């Protein structure tokens, strides 16, 4: 069965915000990745130190069922503004479940990242549904995630 969590986006303040949230909820960050941790892809423009230090992904469990997730946006790639800075993130138990949810909820909407295998070992996609709600779907293939 799929689980749904909040995914928050920031314009360079993600780490500060998540440290604040941790001060309220407690706990630890099981995952923190910076954009500078990415392997450079061919044709990718070099990043400034400020952009390399932006958070690409962070997680903070706030209960056994709920995880608060977040990232910073990249200037010129994502249009960050209050109101579009939260998505619902769905974690599935299979590729098939990810495809069913992605295809169903993106119908009539706008796909912003097609459902595909990622360098971090997940099967992942993003879209805005026909009602303007931002969504992500993620399947962590155990065989691929363990390799990273």
Q: Do 53 and 120 fall within a single domain?
A: no
54 and 35 in contact (C-beta within 8 Å)? yes
CA-closest candidate to residue 51, choices 61, 38, 62: 38
Cβ-in-10-Å burial (0-12, 13-18, 19+) of 102 comes to buried
d(CA 106, CA 26): 35
pLDDT digits (tens, 9 = 90+) for 61-117: 998 888 999 999 877 666 656 666 888 999 999 999 999 999 999 999 999 999 999
Residues 107 and 128 in one domain: yes
- What CATH number corresponds to the domain at position 144? 3.30.720.110
64, 82 Cβ separation under 8 angstroms: no
Q: What average pLDDT does the segment 5-27 reach?
A: 91
Residues 76 and 98 grouped into a single domain: no
Tell me the residue range of the domain where 53 lies.
Answer: 1-83
The answer on 56 and 8 residing in a single domain is yes
* Domain total of the chain: 2
Look at residue 81 in the predicted model and tell me its pLDDT: 63
User: Could you give the CA distance from residue 83 to residue 21 in angstroms, rounded to a whole number?
Assistant: 19
Looking at residue 67, what is its pLDDT? Answer: 93
């Amino acid at each position: 069965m799929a689980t749904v969590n909040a995914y928050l986006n920031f314009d360079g303040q993600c780490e500060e915000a998540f440290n604040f949230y941790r001060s309220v909820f407690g706990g630890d960050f099981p995952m923190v990745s910076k954009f500078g941790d990415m392997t450079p892809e061919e044709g990718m423009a070099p990043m400034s130190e400020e952009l390399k230090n932006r958070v690409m992904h962070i997680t903070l469990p706030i209960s056994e069922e709920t995880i608060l997730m977040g990232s910073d946006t990249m200037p010129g790639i994502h249009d960050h503004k209050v109101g579009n800075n939260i998505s619902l993130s769905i974690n599935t138990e299979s590729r098939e479940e990810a495809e069913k949810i992605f295809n169903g909820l993106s119908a009539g909407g706008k796909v912003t990242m097609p459902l595909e295998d990622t360098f971090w070992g997940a099967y992942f996609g993003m879209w805005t549904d026909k009602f303007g709600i931002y969504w992500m779907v993620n399947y962590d293939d155990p065989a691929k995630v363990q390799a990273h």
